[in-house]
A and B are shown apart, each in its own frame.
Chain A
Amino acid sequence: MDGFLALYIFMLAAFTGYEIIARVPVILHTPLMSGSNFVHGIVLIGAMIALGHASTPFEITIGFIGVLLGAGNAAGGYVVTERMLEMFKSSKPGAGKGHK
C-alpha cells in the first residue's frame, strides 16, 4: 500500500476516534472502552489472512494461535459490551419512570 495514502488514512481515522469519544458522558466510559475493545477485534481477519498465507508448520502454529486469540477478542468483546449496554435498556434519558 502507498505509504502516504496510508498516512492520510491513519490521520483521518485518528481524528475520527478522537471526535467520537470527546463528547461521551462518564456513565458510558466503561461500555465504550469495552466497545472499542470489540472493534479492534478486527485483528481476527488479519490473523486469518496470516494463517491463510502461512506455509511452514511453525508459521501455521503461530497463525493458528493468532486466529484463536483474535476470535476471542472479537467474541468476548462483543458479549461483554452487549451485557453492559443491556442495562441501559429500560432507563430512558429523562427518567420517565422515575422511582416508585
Chain B
Amino acid sequence: MAWLPILIKACYFLAAVLFILGLKRMSSPRTARGGIVWAGVGMVFAVLATFFLPDMHNLGLIIAAVVLGVSVAWWTGKRVAMTAMPQMVALYNGMGGGAAAAIGAVELIGFVRNWALLHPPGVPDTAPLRPESWAINALPPLPGVTMLTPTELGLGVLGALIGAVSFSGSMIAFAKLQGWLDKRFVFPGQRVVNMVLLAATVVVGILLVVGHASLPLIALFFALALLFGLMMTLPIGGADMPVVISLYNAFTGLAVGFEGFVLGNEAMIIAGMVVGAAGTLLTQLMAKAMNRSIGNVLFGSFGAAAGSDAHVIDGAQKPIDASDAAVMMAYAERVVIVPGYGMAVAQAQHKVWEFAQLLLKRGVKVKFAIHPVAGRMPGHMNVLLAEAGVPYDLIADMDDINPEFPATDVALVIGANDVVNPLARTDPASPIYGMPILDVGKAGQVIVIKRGKGTGFAGIENALFYADNTRMLYGDGQAAAGQLVTELKALDD
C-alpha cells in the first residue's frame, strides 16, 4: 500500500498546478472560460484524494456535509440573478473563511484534549503548557497523540483569527449588498472601540499560543474575532464594499494557507497563498481607482464626513421627459452612455443596449463609458453589458473616454452617481474628494436617469445634477430606458 500516499500527494500536486494554470487562464478573456474548468478539475482531484487519507474517521458525516453543502450552494448559485453576483461572492467567500476558522477551532480543541491526555489528573504537573515543553519529548509520548508544534499552533491561531474576521465581515458585506442592512452603523469613538477589540482578540490569541489554552479561552477568542469582523465592516459604506469584499477574499486565502500549514497540506498552502497575494493586489488596484488607501477605506472618515455633510448646492434639478430626451439623442452625433449600479438594480442593461442599437442604426456614434469602480465591483458593469450583448469595442475605460467628452453631444448617465460627481474634483470637504471621475459635465448635454431626487449610494450630494446642461429623467432605469426605446421607434414611423 506504499503507493497510496504517493498517489494522494500526486493528486494534491496536480490540484495546485491546475489551480495556478486555471487562474492564469482566467486572466485573459480568450481562455477565461476554460480556466475555471481547469481549477474545477483540480478541486475534484483534491477532494477525492482526501477521502483516502489514512486515519480518516466520520466518513459518513463528511460525505453528508459535502453533499449538503455542494447541493445548496450549487442550487443558489445557479438561481441567483447576475446583478446579485457581488453579494454571492461575498457570501461564498465568508463561508470559506468560516471553514478555515472551524479547522482552527477543531485543531485547538484537539490540542487542549491531547494536553489533558498527556497530563492525566493526579500526576503532578509542574511543567506549564508552554512551547518549550512540547515536541522535545519532555513528556512521555502516547500512541496516536501528536501535539502541534509552537509554529503550527501560532499559525493555526492566526489563520483562525483571519478566517473568523473574514466570515463575519463577509456576512455583513453580503447583508449590506442584499439590502438587508441599509443603515451605516456609526457611533462616536468607534475607531477606538474597534482597535481595543482587535487588541483584545490578539492578546487572547497570544495567550492561546503561549500556554494558556483552555476551552473557555478558545470560545472567548472566537467570539472576539467574530465580533471584530462585524464591527469592522458595519461602519463601512456600500460604495466601499467592493474593496472590502476583495480584502476579505484575500483574508480567506491567507487563512486557508495558514491552516494548510497546520494540517501539513501543500495544496491548501499553495492555493491559499496564491489567492492571498492575488487578492491583496486586486484590493490595492480597486482602492487606487478610488484614490484611497486600504487603511482609509477600513478606518477612514467616510462615515463621519458623510454624516456632517453640510455642503449646499445652489440651483435646482431640471427635469426632462422621455420624448425630449430621445429626440435630443436621436439627432446627436456622439452619445456616451455611462452606466452605474442603478442600471444593475433595475436590470436595465438589455433595454439600454436595445436603445443604443437603435441610435447606432440612425448613425449616431454610441459608446459606453465605464468607471473602474462603477457598480459594486471592478468589471461589474462590463459583465452586465457583456450579458446584454454589447461588443467590447463599444466599451471604453475612463482614461480613454475622458478626453472625448468635450466632443460629445449627449452623455446619458443611467444609475451612476458618485463616479460622475464633480465635487470629487472641486470640493476638498467632500468625502470622495480626489477620486477620479468621468467628466460627463464637459459633454454638450447631460441626461441623468435616476429614480428620485435623493443622494447616491455613498450619501453624497451630486453637483452634476444641478449643472446648467444637466436634465433629469426621473424613473426606474428599465422603465426609463423602455420609454426611450418607444420614443425613438416612434420617431422612425
Contact = CB atoms under 8 A, between A and B. Distances in A.
Interface of A: 1, 3, 6, 9-10, 13-18, 20-56, 58-60, 62-89, 91-93, 95, 97-100
Nearest to A24: B27
Identify whether the interface residues of B are mostly helix, strand, loop, or mixed.
Answer: helix
A59 B26 contact: no
A93 B89 CA distance: 26
B73 interface: yes
B95 A33 contact: no
A17 to B, nearest CB: 3
B334 to A, nearest CB: 16
6 contacts: A21-B282, A31-B383, A32-B282, A33-B377, A40-B275, A69-B69
Contact of B35 (A23, A35, A80): A35
A51 B63 CA distance: 11
Contacts of B73: 71-76, 79
B256 A40 contact: yes
Residue of B51, B96, B259, B264 with most chain A CB atoms under a 10 A cut-off: B96
Contacts of A41: 43, 92, 96
Contact of A26 (B28, B62, B278, B397): B397
Interface string B367-378: 000101000011
Interface string B42-56: 010011011101011
Q: Which 8 A-B pairs have the closest CB atoms?
A: A71-B69, A66-B102, A79-B77, A17-B277, A13-B273, A76-B73, A73-B96, A70-B99
Contacts of A34: 85, 89
Contacts of B261: 1, 6
A33 B33 contact: no
A50 B377 contact: no
A88 B36 CA distance: 13
Nearest to B167: A69
A97 B256 contact: no
Given A9-B269, A49-B263, A32 B26 contact: yes
Given A17-B274, A21-B282, A39-B271, 10 more contacts: A27-B383, A31-B26, A36-B278, A40-B253, A42-B15, A46-B265, A50-B103, A75-B71, A75-B74, A87-B386
Given A13-B277, A27-B29, A95-B391, A69 B95 contact: yes
B279 interface: yes
Nearest to A70: B99
Contacts of A89: 33
Q: Categorize the interface residue count of chain B.
A: 35 or more
A69 B281 contact: no
A16 B100 CA distance: 22
A3 to B, nearest CB: 5
A30 B378 contact: yes
Contacts of A46: 99-100, 103, 256, 259-260, 263, 265, 268
A83 to B, nearest CB: 7
B98 A69 contact: yes
Contacts of A95: 391-393
B385 to A, nearest CB: 9
A90 to B, nearest CB: 8
B249 interface: yes
B57 A48 contact: no
B76 interface: yes
Nearest to A44: B47
B106 interface: yes
B387 A33 contact: no
Given A37-B96, A40-B253, A86-B33, A76 B23 contact: no
Interface in B55-70: 55-59, 61-62, 65-70
Contacts of A48: 47, 50-51, 56, 62, 66
A28 B109 contact: no
Interface of B: 15, 19-20, 22-24, 26-30, 32-33, 35-37, 39-40, 43, 46-47, 49-51, 53, 55-59, 61-62, 65-74, 76-78, 80, 82, 85-86, 88-89, 91-93, 95-96, 98-103, 105-107, 109-110, 113, 151, 245-246, 249, 252-253, 255-257, 259-261, 263-279, 281-282, 285-286, 357, 360, 370, 372, 377-380, 382-383, 386-387, 391-395, 397
Contacts of A50: 102-103, 106-107, 263
A83 B281 contact: no
B98 A66 contact: yes
Contacts of B360: 99
B277 A51 contact: no
Contacts of A29: 282, 285-286, 377-379
Given A20-B20, A26-B372, A62-B106, A43 B380 contact: no
A39 B39 contact: yes
Nearest to A98: B391
Contact of A43 (B22, B66, B99, B266): B99
A65 to B, nearest CB: 6
B24 A20 contact: yes
Contacts of A68: 65, 68-69
A33 B247 CA distance: 10
A24 B76 CA distance: 28
A36 B62 contact: no
Contacts of B109: 56, 58-59, 62
Contacts of B74: 75-76, 79
A9 B379 contact: no
